[in-house]
Amino acid sequence: MDKIAVLIPCYNEEKTIGKVIRDAKKALPEATIYVYNNNSKDRTAEIAEAEGAVVRNEYMQGKGNVIRRMFREIDALVYVMVDGDDTYPMESAPEMVDLVLNHNSDMVVGDRLSSTYYQENKRPFHNFGNNLVRGSINKLFGCNIRDIMTGFRAFSYEFVKTFPVLSKGFEIETEMTIHAVYNNMQIDNVVIDYRDRPEGSESKLNTYADGFKVLKTIARLYRSYKPFGFFSILAGLLAILSAIFFVPILQEYWATHLVPRIPTLIVCCFVMMAAVQSFFVGVLLSTMAINNRREFEMQLNMLQRHKETDYSDNEK
C-alpha cells in the first residue's frame, strides 16, 4: 500500500503530461505517480514513462472506465486525482493530502469556480453547465459543494474502495460527489487557481452531449439515492395531470348531472392510480435505501481495519 498515490487519467495529452508529472513530483515528492493511458494515439505513454511515472493502460474508452481501473488496482492511504491537461496547480495538492490524512476528509474538492475559472475558461456554455449542475445537486441533495465537475480531487482509502463506478465518461465527477454526499462522508473544499489549456492542447469534452449525460446521471442517482423524493415528485405530476382533465368533467357533471366524456374519466382514474402507486413505490424503496446505508456503514468499519493492517505490514 502506497502512502500517497497520484492518479492521472490520460487520453492524447502529450503536450502537457510531462509538466503535470514534474509538478506532481515537486509538490508531493513521496508520492507514487500513476498515469493511466486510455488508448492515446500520440506519445502520452512514452513521455509519462520517460518522466518516471508508472504507466498502465485501460483499453475501454472513457474517463469513468479509467477511474474504475485505477480504484480497483491501487491501494493507498490517500489518492490525488488530477487531469493530465495542466489546468490544475499541483501546489494545492499538499493541503488536500493533509486534509485526508489528518482531518478525516473522505473527499477534498479542488474548487475552481470560487477563483479564476470564469476568467480563464473561454467556453460560456461550460460556465452555464457548471452552475446548473452545482445548483441542481446542492438543491436535490441538500449540500453545499462549490465545484461538482472539477477533475482535481483527493480521496481517502475508504471512499475509493466503497465507490461503485457506474458511469463510463466525464459524468464520473458528478457520481463521485453524490456518492460522498449521500453516504454522509466528510467533504472539504480547497480553492485552487484554474488555468485554461495551453495552446495546442484540445479538450475532449463535448459541451452538449456530455452535459446531457451529466443531467441524466443526476436524475438516475437521485432516483437511486433519494427514491422517496423522486417518486413523490412523479406522483405529484401524475396527480396534477389527472386533476387537470378531471376538473372539467366534474364541473360539467355538477351542471348537467351527465358525464359525456367517459373515456377521459377512465384515463384520469388510471393516471391517479399510477400516482398512488408511485408514491408507495417511493416509500418501499426509501426503506430499502436505509438498509443499504446500514450495510455501507458496516463495510466502512471493515475497510478501516483492513487499511490499518495493510499499512502497518508495509511499514514493517
Q: What angle do CA 134, 140, 144 make, to 5 degrees?
A: 50
Alpha carbons 146 and 82: distance in angstroms, whole number: 17
Task: Report the percent of the chain where pLDDT is more than 90.
Answer: 57
Select the more confidently predicted residue: 204 or 191.
191
Question: Cα–chain-centroid distance for residue 219?
Answer: 13
Average pLDDT of the chain is 88
203, 84 Cβ separation under 8 angstroms: no
Select the more confidently predicted residue: 302 or 286.
286
- Identify the pLDDT of residue 123: 65
> Within a 10 A sphere around the Cβ of 215, how many other Cβ atoms?
16
Grid coordinates standing for 281? 413505490
What is the mean pLDDT of the segment spanning 156-165? 93
- Identify the pLDDT of residue 293: 83
CA nearest 90: which of 44, 40, 28? 28
Select the more confidently predicted residue: 170 or 16.
16
CA distance readout (Å), 150 to 50, 108, 193, 231? 28, 11, 12, 30
Grid coordinates standing for 114? 470560487
**Prediction pTM value:** 0.81
- Identify the pLDDT of residue 205: 63
Alpha carbons 154 and 160: distance in angstroms, whole number: 10
Considering only the top CATH level, what class is 2-225? alpha beta
- Identify the pLDDT of residue 92: 93
